[in-house]
Amino acid sequence: FFLMPWESVIGLEVHVQLRTDSKIFSGASTAFGAKPNVQACEVDIALPGVLPVMNRMATLMAVRFGLATGATVNRLSVFARKNYFYPDLPKGYQISQYELPIVAGGQIEINAHNSRKNIGITRAHLEEDAGKLLHQELEGRSGIDLNRAGIPLLEVVSEPDLRSPAEAIAYLKKLHTLVRYLEICDGNMQEGSFRCDANVSVRPAGEPNLGTRCELKNLNSFRFIEKGLQFEINRQIQLIEDGGQVAQETRLYDPVADLTRPMRGKEDAHDYRYFPDPDLPPLVVDDELLAAARSTLPELPDARCHRFSSTYQVTQKDAELLTSDRELADYFEQTATACGDSRSAANWITGEWMGSLNRDGLRFEESRVTPQMLGDLIAKINNNSISGKIAKEVFDGMWNGEGNASEIIAARNL
C-alpha cells in the first residue's frame, strides 16, 4: 500500500501599506502609534455628505511597483465598492478596485530549492484599509479604533504558482525587499505594514484541476506564515485521506497551539456585490505621472545583486544577503569604496558588524560604526598597521563609541 503523492497549491494576497503622509481618500495622518480615533476624520468615519479625494502619491507608488515588476500599468482604472458589514467598517463597504486595477500582470523571480522560478502576479490594486477592533484593552467588551480606516494599501495578488511553504516564504521575502527598495512601504510586519492572506489547496500530484481552497487570514511574520501553511497543507491531506472533504472557508492560524481554526465561510467575489464607486471618477495615470514614477525607480534588487557578484567579486550568497536591504547594500558599497577591498568589506559586514547588530537588537541606521570607519579599519589591516586579532579589539571599541580606529589604536597603544 502506497500513499498517494500530494501537491500543494498556494496563492498569496499581500497587503502593502503605502508610505504616504495622509490617507488614500482624506487628509488624515497615517502616523503609527496614535491614541485610538484621533486620526480619523469625517471622511474616514463616513459622516453623511462627505466625499473621497484620491491621494496622488499613492497612485505614484502603485505605478512604481508596476514598472518594477514588468507589469502593465493601466492608464485608466476604476474604484469599486466592496460591500460587507463589520463593526470597523463605518461605511458598510470598502473602496477597492476589482475589474480594472491600476496594475495587471507582472512577475517576481524567486530562488527556492536551489533553483530559480518566476511567480506570476495577477494584479496589484489600490484600496483603503479598515479600522481595528480592540479586545484586550476593554474587559468583556470590544472597542473600535478607526485610525487605520482609510490607510492606503496596495494589494498584490499572486498567481497560484507556489508549490510549498518554502517557495511562499521566498516570494514574500523577495516582495518585502522590493517594496522597501522602491520606498513605497516600510515593511514593518509588527505594525501591520506588510500583511499576508494565503489561499491553500491540495491535489493529487499531476492533477490539473485545483482543489478546494481555504484562506488563512492576516499572517504577520515569515515564521508564522510558513508554520501556518505547513499545518493547513497537512490538515487538508489528512482530511481527504480519511474520506472527508475540504470546506471552502476562511481560517485563522493559532501560533501558540500551532493549528488553524475555522473563522467563517469563504466568500466569492459575487458575495461582495462589487459595483463602481459613484463618488470617485476613473483614476487616470497621465504621461507626467508615469514619467515621474519611471524617473525615480532605483536600481532594483536583482540587478544590484548581479552587479555585486560581478563587479565586487563577492560570492553569490553574500551578494544576495548584502542586497536584501537597500540600506545594507548602500553601507557595503560605501565601506568597499573606503577601503578598496570589497571581499574584506563583505566579510566584516556579514560577520562582526551584522553580528553586533543582532546581538544588541539594533537597526542598520543605529550603528555607531560608519562605513568610513569600518573601511579605515580594514585598510589598516591590509597595510599591516594592525593584525586581524587587534582589529577585532578596535572594532569593539568603535562599536562602543570610543572613537575611530586611529583614535582607539593611539589611546590603547596598539
DSSP 216-254: EEEE-SHHHHHHHHHHHHHHHHHHHHTT-----EEEEEE
For residues 198 and 225, what is the distance between their CA atoms, to the nearest angstrom? 8
For residues 292 and 178, what is the distance between their CA atoms, to the nearest angstrom? 19
The percentage of the chain sitting over the pLDDT mark of 70, rounded to a whole number, equals: 98
Statement: residue 269 has pLDDT above 90: no
Residue 1 pLDDT: 40
Does an H or E element contain 156, and which? strand 152-158
- The backbone torsions φ and ψ at residue 58, rounded to the nearest 5 degrees and listed phi first, read -60, -40
Residue 2 pLDDT: 47
For residues 80 and 284, what is the distance between their CA atoms, to the nearest angstrom? 15
Residue 355 pLDDT: 96
Residue 356 pLDDT: 96
Give the total residue count for the chain: 414
Residue 3 pLDDT: 62
For residues 202 and 221, what is the distance between their CA atoms, to the nearest angstrom? 23
- The backbone torsions φ and ψ at residue 172, rounded to the nearest 5 degrees and listed phi first, read -65, -40
Statement: residue 308 has pLDDT above 70: yes
Decide: 394 and 351 in contact? Cβ < 8 Å: no
Residue 118 pLDDT: 96
What average pLDDT does the segment 300-329 reach?
Answer: 94
Residue 270 pLDDT: 76
pTM recorded for the entire structure:
0.91
C-alpha cell at 358: 543582532
Statement: residue 157 has pLDDT above 70: yes
- Say how many C-beta atoms besides its own lie within 10 A of residue 48's C-beta: 5
Statement: residue 13 has pLDDT above 80: yes
What average pLDDT does the segment 308-336 reach?
Answer: 94
- The backbone torsions φ and ψ at residue 196, rounded to the nearest 5 degrees and listed phi first, read -135, 135
Residue 281 pLDDT: 96
Sheet holding 275-276, edge to edge: 93-97, 79-83, 275-276
Residue 266 pLDDT: 64
301-311 vs 326-339: helix crossing angle, rounded to 10: 20
Q: Which residues contact 189 (CB under 8 A, 6 or more apart)?
A: 195, 220, 221, 222
Confidence of residue 54 (pLDDT cuts 50, 70, 90): very high
What average pLDDT does the segment 50-62 reach?
Answer: 97
DSSP state of 205: T
Statement: residue 115 has pLDDT above 90: no
The percentage of the chain sitting over the pLDDT mark of 90, rounded to a whole number, equals: 88
What average pLDDT does the segment 166-184 reach?
Answer: 97
Work out the mean pLDDT of the chain and round it to a whole number: 94
